[in-house]
Each structure stands twice: as structure tokens, then as C-alpha cells.
Structure 1
């Protein structure tokens, strides 16, 4: 995770960003601290990436890379405003003795990739349509040695995979069908017949932008209906207020890069 010490909305690169509404910087830090403490209280180790002045979106740490079994597929950002974030993430992983793979193609890390080690022998789900290039899916497959299933995103409000789909455990997912093309919806239905299906209300509340450890599902306080859905599916929802981070187009998952050794 990366603290939002420099977080602001000074440019608009997704439909949620409004440069006319000021960010409450102190509240953003307070909410981020609450998320970090919630994860620690649930028994997880949180590593902190140092924020860099001039990179206000570094708080969305999930976008900086994607790791599987100790190998890291680095990010290459679509927009120049975020390009320098990739170097900060690369430094963190190389310093920590991960195997780091530098990408040739545009991809935004866990924003558009997720991994389910227990599903279909271990499968990567990958989004495209707005940020990550389809060619990055093949590149990730070669670098990580896991099969990649490409899913086309069609609604600009859900510009990253992690705004429209999340892994609930090693085997199953939750997703908002209308964020995907009809063909991608058919693929998801075939791969995950027991998925928890979300609706537009859930998606607009960033209820899919969650983190799950297989038992606890951490999601923002606005996603009450989504919380009820995951509870009905046998998980324990844990709500955290992240209203300020939503101003930049992210929530719980955007703020957390999962480290898969």
C-alpha cells in the first residue's frame, strides 16, 4: 500500500475524476490508515511503498504491478501522468528480491489482472478495452507461465477489471456482467457458474473493488448491497469508509497490491 500523502485530483483520466471538487487530504490519509489497520487486524502483513511528490495516484498501489509465485509482471501505464509510478514499484520489488519482468506492452497491473490459483488449474483473468492492451495478456502469460483469459470491458465507468470483477477466494469470483462484452459474459458464466453476480448499484458503489482473503471481504461502506450478497454467499463482509479515494476512481482493491510469493 502507498499512503495518500500527495493525493489530489488534478487531472481527469477516468469518468469518476472531477477536478472541480477538492479532495480532503487529511480525511484521505485517515481513511487509508483505517484500511491498513483493518488489514493488519485481520492478520495480514502490509508493506508500505513510499509516496512520491508529483504522483498523486500512487495511492492506487494495485496498478503498479502484478505478481504470481514470486515473479512480478511490471506495469506500463496508459497515461503519462502515471508513467513514473512504474519505476517506484520496480524499485520496491527488486529491492525485495522478487523476479521482476519489465513489460513491453501497456498494462496497469492488478487493475486489469487477477489470479485464481485454485480455478481451472490456476488461471489469470485479464481485462482490456480501456487501459491494458490485449497484447499484454499474451506477454503476461509468457512471463508468468499461467494461462490468461482475456475479458473485454465495454463500459468506460468500469475502465479496469478490478472495478467490475474480484476474486472472492482461490476458486470463485464476483462480477458485474454488464461491464463486459456479451462474449466475455459467456466466458465468465462458463468458467464460474457459481459466481456472485453484482448489479449496477453494486458497481457504482465500487462494491466490486474489494479485497478478499477467502473469508473476510473488505469493501467500502457505500457497498451495503454488495456486502449482503457476499454474506449470503458465505463470506464475512468488513466495511471501511473510503469516500475520498473514490474521487480518483478507486476504492479498497485499488489501494492494495497483493503480494503472491
Structure 2
């Protein structure tokens, strides 16, 4: 089927203060040094690639003492110009929520909802044409799912994550085309019931295999045509092309040391 990219607006945050000095997910090992210069180069490559594809990238000012701010997807969820703020599970990231809140308020977003329950933004919320898919099990509270449904007025589908390596929904599932409810996901990251729900709602989904999931290949961003994804997820390139998508491999190996890749670095400003 013919596919078209639609222009997107993204929020990103440079890895100026990126470090791995603590471990709050299985990917983080403080004993492994981070090459900050390389991390910055890789992040700039991603930002510049978005712009070359016709997308707009806004930048959030990185703050000292918040090494994970580079993973901007976790700071909020934006749908139809309305913003559901984040509440982080780990104290190391708590202050990021306020930084995102101030950015949205200073950029004219009038509808900003302060969350009552833990949610880590687009880390655990994925938006399709019909649903908001919502992860839980390691970070976001299931109570945040009801909160999101009430705020956005869209049906929210709860999905339970069971493998700590896939601690956020965006490490196990990617929306390829939000206008057509097309996704790809790794079934073993989910509980049996959640796998059944995904199979029922998305019978034609692209199913990722273990090596590509382990390369964080699902931590990807689609614009309806291009799919920017980690370069190590080579097993996904062919299946994506077979469906008419254009895979765009990206090297974010330094940021992977913090447990994130393409999607983690990219918050979408929908309807902004």
C-alpha cells in the first residue's frame, strides 16, 4: 500500500548532562563509562534526521543533576494540544516533571493536567487512531490509565509488562502509523492476557523477534512512512519494507547505556 509521511512536531533534550551513575533499569550499569561527546553526536544525528525528513524539533533545556532528561518522551503525553504531565516512579527523575511542566506553560499550552498517579509519559502511553495504549507493571500505575482516559476522552487500553528489560511500553511496542492503527510489538514482554488483547485489537501487527527486541528495536518512531529505529534491530528492516515502510537505522549506542533509544529521546507534540 502507498504510504505518506506526515509532518510531526517533537520535543527533545540534549544529553548535556547524560551520565549513568545509578541503575533504575536493567540496561543501566554505572561501571560502564559513557562517552559524552559521542552521545551528543548520536543525539544530534537523530535530531537532524527528523528535521531533514520535514519534522519540527523543539528543544528542552537540559538541567544539571538530571542525567536522564535526554529521554524526553517520559516527561509528558500530548494529544490534541492537551498535556498530561508526568509523575516519575524513581526519585532520581522526580525533578524532570517540573522542567517539562514549565516548558509547556511557557510555550502557551493552556490545558496542562497535573497527574495524581505515577505515569512516565510516552514511556508508557502510545497513541493510535483508535486507542491510547497504556503500559504498567514496572513504572506507570494502572490508576494513571483511568486518569488519562478521563483527561483525553479517548479509550485507554491497559497492557501489563512482565519482563524488566522492557520496563516501559515504548521498549516493547511501537506505533508505526497512528492514522491506521498499525503497530509492531514483542509478545514476550507482555502478560498472557495483554498478548491476547493485542492480538485481538491488532491482528495484522508486525511481531518482533527476541534479537530485535533485545536491541531495543521497538523503541522506534514512525511518521506514517519512515520508521527511525536502532541500527542493531536488523531483523525488522525487511518486514518493515515489505509493509511499505522505510526503515531509517540510527546509532544511539551511548544512550542505550541508559536504557533508551530513538523513542525515549522523542516526545511527540500532537495537535500542538
| Distance in 1 separating the partners of 2:229 and 2:166 | 17
Which one of the candidate residues 155, 164, 188 is aligned to 1:178?
Answer: 188
| Distance in 2 separating the partners of 1:109 and 1:172 | 20
Which one of the candidate residues 237, 247, 256 is aligned to 2:247?
Answer: 237
What is the correspondence of 1:1-261 to structure 2 with a 5 Å cutoff?
1-98=12-109, 99-117=111-129, 122-170=130-178, 171-261=181-271
Greater RCO, CA 8 A, separation 6+? 2
Q: After superposition, what is the alpha-carbon deviation per residue over 1:184-215, rounded to whole angstroms, capped at 9, x for unaligned?
A: 00000000011000011111001000000010
Secondary structure, aligned partner of 2:116: coil
Unaligned runs of 5+ in 1: none
Q: After superposition, what is the alpha-carbon deviation per residue over 1:190-243, rounded to whole angstroms, capped at 9, x for unaligned?
A: 000110000111110010000000100001111111222211221000111100
Secondary structure, aligned partner of 1:130: coil
User: RMSD value over aligned CA atoms?
Assistant: 0.6
| Distance in 2 separating the partners of 1:4 and 1:31 | 10
- More moved, 231-240 vs 80-89: 231-240
Deviation at 1:62, TM superposition (A): 0.1
| Distance in 1 separating the partners of 2:121 and 2:21 | 22
Aligned length: 257
Q: TM-score, normalised by structure 1?
A: 0.97
| Distance in 1 separating the partners of 2:231 and 2:201 | 30
Secondary structure, aligned partner of 2:170: helix
Which stretches of structure 1, 4 residues or longer, exceed 4 Å deviation after superposition? none
| Distance in 2 separating the partners of 1:62 and 1:18 | 21
Deviation at 1:97, TM superposition (A): 1.6
Secondary structure, aligned partner of 1:168: strand
CA contact (8 A) 1:74 1:102 kept: yes
